[in-house]
Structure 1
Amino acid sequence: MRFSEPVRMSEDGDHSPVWARSKRRRGNPFISLLVTLLALFGVLTAVLGIKEKSLAEGGAMMDGWISSAVSKVKGEAPKVADQAGEAAGAAATRAGDAAQAGAAAASDELKKQ
């Protein structure tokens, strides 16, 4: 009498049955995140399509949200870059002053010896 593979594995003392294995195979987390985001996008599209009674109008609403976010980022990016540049310049000036003060203190210490 021939037994199937799961039966032979269950009768073997070293192996547990195939259906009793606790180890789950996990996929790539990036792929899981991507699939989740696509599913959320699909649900949002369906909800807006129902609300606006047209998928085209729901898509237009999402396009409006995206374009307003992009224009906001484009409008604020130069201002933020200028502020970051000014902060970096001020930090460099303070670091230079601190280095100069340290060098002067070291020079004075060497002159005393």
Structure 2
Amino acid sequence: MRFSQPVRMADGGETSPVWARSRKRSGMPIVGLLVTLLALFGALTAVLGIKEQSLAAGGAVIDGWITSGWDGARGLIGKAPAAADDAAAEAGAAAAKAGDALQAGAETTANEMKK
């Protein structure tokens, strides 16, 4: 396949096509992420505004979603210390059982070695 002169010389080489060059990434990927999230939020607001026939009603739907998510997160945070205490107690019980089993195995092995 033959390429035209600008295509061959774009990368400084004789046989390198334009699409084979490596792209350099921008130094601020967070800006692209923020712009994408804002665009998605704007599209969601527009769709809900059309569905509810009012931007205020669409915004109220989004506020309801945020409020329910926030309340759920606050509920989970309140349960975290109790769950951590339960997990610690279960881990302690499992460690005690493992220690007892190890002790019994060591005693059995010692008895077998004596014979």
TM-score range, shorter chain: 0.5 to 0.7
Q: How far apart, CA to CA, are the structure 2 residues paired with 1:13 and 1:98?
A: 67
CA contact (8 A) 2:7 2:16 kept: no
Residue in structure 1 matched with residue 95 of structure 2 by the alignment: 95
TM-score, structure 1 as length reference: 0.62
Instruction: Give the structure 2 partner of residue 38 of structure 1.
Output: 38
Give the Cα–Cα distance (whole angstroms) in 2 for the partners of residues 106 and 8 of structure 1.
75
Percent sequence identity over matched residues? 49
Give the conservation status (yes or no) of the 8 Å contact 1:6–1:17: no
Deviation, structure 1 residue 14? 2.0
Root-mean-square deviation (CA, aligned residues, Å) is 3.5
Q: Aligned residue for 2:23?
A: 25
- Per the TM alignment, residue 67 of structure 1 is displaced from its structure 2 partner at its CA by 0.8
Count of equivalent residues:
105
TM-score by length of 2: 0.61
Does 1:72 find its partner at 2:106?
A: no
Paired residue for 2:56? 56
Structure 1 residue ranges, 4+ long, deviating more than 6 angstroms after superposition: none
Letter in 1 for 2:73: V
Q: Is the 8 A contact 2:46 2:55 kept in 1?
A: yes
| Contact 1:48–1:55 (Cα < 8 Å) also in 2 | yes
Conservation of the 8 A alpha-carbon contact between 1:46 and 1:55: yes
